Structures are given as structure tokens and as C-alpha cells.
Structure 1
Amino acid sequence: METPINIQTTPRRIRQLLNSQFGRFAMVGAAATGFQYLLLILLAELTPLNTVACSALAFTISALFNYLANYYLTFQSDKCHLETLSRFTVTAIIGLCINTLVFYCAELIMPHYLLSQCVATVITLISNFLLHKYWIYK
């Protein structure tokens, strides 16, 4: 038996999620991922680059937005940018390696590059959150 959705508490639950650190991280990540996918599509459709290179480039460009939004919105860090940006760069390189490797492998079996990117995004999300939370901004 399914639990019915309580319409009156749904907005409160959404506010609670957005007020949580993981909720903000997910929102920033969704915005950065949307930007990454837009860049991926533009690069894949409008340049002669192969899709693996397009994915890696789109990931790299969207990482700057991700850094700034997480610094100010998600983790509200008071550490200096010199310290956090250097740690973020290491994390972004790790994320780029995971993203590119998973994208490459998924593209071998997936029928479209966007599906491959979806698989790479899900796998990269977990490592990125843990590195952000416990290393970059603390």
C-alpha cells in the first residue's frame, strides 16, 4: 500500500531539502551539469572534435561555475580561494578522469553520446560530493 502524498507538507519538504547542504549541492550540481550538457551538445554538433574530447572540455568549462557556486552557496566557505581553489582543481581533475573514463567506456555500448554522459555523471557525482564536503571547503 502506497503512502499518499500530503500536498500541505510537500513545500516544507522541498524547503528542507534546499536548506540542507546536500540539497544545495544537488541544485548547484544540476545547474553545472545542465551547463555541461549544453556545452557538450554544442561542441559535439558544431565542432570537428570527437565526443570524448567534447565531454572532457565541457566538464572542464563547467567546473569553474561549479567551484564558485559551491564555495558561496553550498558550503559558504570562509577559507581563502588560494587554498580551496587548489583543492578544487585536484578534485576537478579526479572528476574529469572519472567522467572521461566512464564516458569512453559507456560510449562503447551506448547508442548515443548523451546516454554515455548520463552514466558518467551519476558515477562522478558521488566522489565529487565527498571530496567537496570533506576536503575542499572544510
Structure 2
Amino acid sequence: MKFIKFLGVGGAATLIQYGILIALVEGVQASAVVGSTIGYIVSGIFNYTLNYYFTFSSTAKHRMAAIRFVIVAIIGLALNSSLVYLLTDVFSMFYIAAQVFATGVVVIWNFVAHKNWTYHSIKDH
């Protein structure tokens, strides 16, 4: 059930990220990596809040959960940006297709890390 909730929250966050990505690439001719990175950061704020309360019903202190979230998000951002760069700039893949692939990889990383670490309280370990 948590994974279904996680996918729902992630789906909404992904719409935010993709909306920003497309707006920046098509609207101001930003690179796919820049658009994806900005979208990832903005959607991360939304993602943290809903996953904390809705998906994982966390009892962890926000200070601890937020620090952990940022660490997981930075790793996810590195994965996302690296994959988008590799697929678009090295392999000339269309930026939306590259983002879809990167999203799939990052979703798996994020779920495992958040479920097992980010939203756990100290007493859960």
C-alpha cells in the first residue's frame, strides 16, 4: 500500500517536474539538464511534504527526516541529471524520453531509501 501511495505522490511530483522541464526547454531554450534539475528541486519540496504525512505517516522529527530527505534527494538528483545528460548529450535521445528513463531509475532509488531510512524515526530502527 505504501508503494501505491508513493507512486501517487511521485506521479504528482513528476507532473510538476515535467511541467517545469518542458516550460524551460521549450519556453526559454534551457538545456534539458538545467530544466530537469530545476524541476527536480521544485517537485522535491512537494514530494517531501506529502510523503512525510500521507505515504509514510512518519513520526520522525522533521529535522531528522528533512536532512535525510535532502541526502536522498541529492543522490537522486545526481542520478537524474547524469542520466539525462548521458542520454541527451552523449546518445542524442529526445529529452522527454531521457527524462522518462531517468525517472524510472530514480523512483526505485527514492522509494527504497525513503521507506527504509528517510521517514523512519530512531525507534523504528
Matches within 5 A, 1:103-122: 103-107=84-88, 108-122=90-104
- Deviation of 1:50 after TM superposition, in Å, equals 1.5
Q: Distance in 2 between matches of 1:114 and 1:127?
A: 20
Q: Percent of aligned positions with the same letter in both sequences?
A: 39
Which of 124, 130, 133 matches 2:106? 124
Q: Distance in 2 between matches of 1:110 and 1:125?
A: 23
* Bigger RCO (CA 8 Å, 6+ sep): 2
| Counterpart residue number, 1:78 | 59
Which of 93, 109, 116 matches 2:74? 93
Task: Tell whether 2:8 aligns with 1:34.
Answer: no
CA RMSD of aligned residues (A): 1.1
Amino acid in structure 2 at the alignment position of 1:105: L
Larger Rg: 1
Stretches of structure 2 that go unaligned for 5 or more consecutive residues are 121-125
Amino acid in structure 1 at the alignment position of 2:95: Y
- Deviation of 1:112 after TM superposition, in Å, equals 1.6
**Equivalent pair of 2:16/2:43 in contact (CA under 8 Å):** yes
Q: Distance in 2 between matches of 1:48 and 1:115?
A: 17
Stretches of structure 1 that go unaligned for 5 or more consecutive residues are 1-19
**Equivalent pair of 1:91/1:131 in contact (CA under 8 Å):** yes
Aligned residues: 119
**Equivalent pair of 1:110/1:116 in contact (CA under 8 Å):** no
| TM-score of the aligned structures, taking structure 1 as reference length | 0.82
Tell me the secondary structure at the aligned position of residue 79 of structure 1: coil
| Counterpart residue number, 1:44 | 25
- Deviation of 1:110 after TM superposition, in Å, equals 4.5
Q: Distance in 2 between matches of 1:26 and 1:81?
A: 22
Post-superposition Cα deviations, 1:11-59, rounded to whole Å, max 9, x if no partner, equal: xxxxxxxxx1111001111111111101101111122422211111111
